[in-house]
């Protein structure tokens, strides 16, 4: 990596943050492998706070996760990569890794929690990946066992420099399309996306405000950000939210280092606000978002106090349970 920024973490260990150069390298690496999503203006928004969407639900796997997965696989030594790759995921990263593995012609194994919607499991299966279903709390342990037994390269969903750099390419694209962006709203689960986007935006346009958004029911980062330290919630709590893509009990340690340095604020949104945002995106902007994909749009509506100037909401994904979408649209 270039643009090195070594900091001393709480435990005294040196932490290397992702830099703008890493993100530019990632952008070159994944160019042509992902959709260059446009910014979509929202005529339904408040004219005093114009809103654009960054519709990453339009990526072929239905989420932004392709960016990080493709960058991580591209950065691996070819000999290592050939043995295959492995991850755990609530769905979208697993699907992205399966896609990236197919692009590179290598095997993929995805460990998934038994709470995953069927649509997400099926989306991975059809890409040819091997799927291992486990209780949520056992995901990381199972990954460690599989990696050791079968010599697979682990590509974690968010706590990984190459994944963060890949997601950061969204920040480059936002600024290319809307140089005067005032506020960028970014959903937060494990923190890979908000870390990368914040690095890119702050490096190129320090005046842009980067706001992380979580469901209230999975507000571990909002609590931690207010306290100035990473906090971990019980998964029993975070699993209450309908937004299955951001039920992580905490952001990653590496992600926290980026967030505390580059993110301006973290806010939370209600469950009803998330469902209302899904509805608004269908009727007002003609795109389908999954609940976690709609949290940034929910923040635009519920937290006008944190949006200033031209605002961008990242719509992270669209792999929604069919019954839920029909219920939301029938309301």
Give every CB contact of residue 330 below 8 A, 6+ residues apart in sequence.
none
Quote the CA–CA distance of 210 and 232 in Å, as a whole number: 22
Quick check: 37 binds a copy of itself (CB under 8 A)? yes
Q: Smallest distance from the beta carbon of 117 to a copy of itself, in angstroms?
A: 13
Quick check: 116 binds a copy of itself (CB under 8 A)? no
- Distances in Å between the Cα of 115 and the Cα atoms of 93, 282, 283, 316 are 15, 26, 29, 20
What does the per-residue mask of binding to a copy of itself show for 254-283, with x meaning CB under 8 A? ----------------------------xx
Quick check: 91 binds a copy of itself (CB under 8 A)? no
Other C-beta atoms closer than 10 Å to the C-beta of 224 total 20
Quick check: 326 binds a copy of itself (CB under 8 A)? yes
- Which pairs count as long-range contacts for 39-42, CB under 8 Å and 24+ apart, including other chains? 39/174, 39/177, 39/178, 39/312, 40/285, 40/287, 42/284, 42/285
Quick check: 325 binds a copy of itself (CB under 8 A)? yes
Backbone φ and ψ for 74, nearest 5 degrees, come out as -65, -30
Q: Which of 105, 118, 149, 330 binds a copy of itself (CB under 8 A)?
A: 330
Closest CA to 200 of 158, 258, 250, 265: 258
C-beta of 55 vs 136, nearer to a copy of itself: 55
Q: Smallest distance from the beta carbon of 158 to a copy of itself, in angstroms?
A: 22
Quick check: 292 binds a copy of itself (CB under 8 A)? no
Quick check: 62 binds a copy of itself (CB under 8 A)? yes
- Distances in Å between the Cα of 69 and the Cα atoms of 100, 132, 166, 224 are 6, 19, 7, 27
What would the two tokens of residue 102 be? 């197919």
Specify whether the CB–CB gap between 288 and 55 falls below 8 A: no
Q: Which of 132, 154, 204, 287 binds a copy of itself (CB under 8 A)?
A: 287
C-beta of 91 vs 156, nearer to a copy of itself: 91
C-beta of 263 vs 275, nearer to a copy of itself: 275
C-beta of 34 vs 109, nearer to a copy of itself: 34
Q: Smallest distance from the beta carbon of 80 to a copy of itself, in angstroms?
A: 27
Quick check: 105 binds a copy of itself (CB under 8 A)? no
- Distances in Å between the Cα of 236 and the Cα atoms of 91, 115, 141, 248 are 19, 12, 18, 10
Quick check: 310 binds a copy of itself (CB under 8 A)? no
Backbone φ and ψ for 230, nearest 5 degrees, come out as -70, 130
Quick check: 285 binds a copy of itself (CB under 8 A)? yes
The helix or strand, by DSSP H or E, that contains position 265, with its residue range, turns out to be strand 265-269
Quick check: 3 binds a copy of itself (CB under 8 A)? no
Q: Smallest distance from the beta carbon of 183 to a copy of itself, in angstroms?
A: 20
Q: Which of 23, 24, 61, 255 binds a copy of itself (CB under 8 A)?
A: 61
Q: Which residue ranges make up the site for a copy of itself (CB under 8 A)? A: 35-43, 55, 57-58, 60-62, 282-283, 285-289, 318-319, 322, 325-326, 329-330
């Amino acid at each position: 990596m270039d643009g090195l920024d070594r900091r001393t973490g709480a435990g005294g260990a040196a932490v290397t943050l992702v830099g703008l150069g890493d993100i530019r390298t990632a952008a070159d690496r994944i160019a042509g492998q992902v959709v260059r999503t446009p910014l979509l203006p929202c005529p339904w928004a408040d004219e005093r706070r114009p809103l654009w969407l960054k519709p990453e639900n339009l990526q072929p796997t239905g989420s932004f996760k392709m960016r990080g997965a493709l960058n991580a696989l591209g950065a691996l030594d070819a000999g290592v990569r050939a043995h295959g790759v492995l991850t755990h995921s609530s769905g979208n990263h697993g699907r992205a890794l399966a896609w990236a593995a197919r692009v590179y012609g290598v095997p993929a194994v995805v460990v998934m929690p038994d709470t995953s919607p069927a649509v997400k499991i099926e989306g991975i299966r059809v890409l040819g990946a091997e799927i291992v279903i486990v209780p949520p709390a056992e995901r990381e342990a199972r990954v460690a066992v599989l990696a050791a037994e079968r010599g697979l390269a682990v590509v974690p969903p968010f706590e990984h420099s190459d994944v963060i750099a890949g997601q950061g390419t969204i920040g480059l694209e936002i600024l290319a399309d809307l140089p005067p962006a005032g506020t960028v709203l970014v959903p937060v689960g494990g923190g890979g996306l908000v870390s990368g986007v914040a690095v890119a935006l702050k490096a190129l346009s320090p005046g842009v405000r980067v706001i992380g958004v979580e469901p209230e029911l999975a507000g571990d980062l909002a609590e931690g950000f207010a306290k100035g330290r990473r906090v971990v919630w019980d998964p029993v709590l975070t699993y209450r939210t309908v937004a299955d893509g951001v039920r992580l009990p905490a952001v990653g340690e590496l992600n926290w280092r980026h967030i505390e340095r580059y993110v301006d604020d973290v806010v939370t949104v209600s469950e009803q606000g998330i469902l209302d945002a899904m509805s608004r995106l269908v009727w007002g902007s003609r795109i389908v978002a999954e609940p976690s994909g709609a949290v940034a749009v929910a923040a635009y509506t519920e937290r006008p106090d944190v949006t200033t100037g031209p605002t961008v909401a990242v719509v992270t994904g669209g792999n929604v349970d069919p019954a839920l979408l029909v219920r939301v649209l029938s309301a």
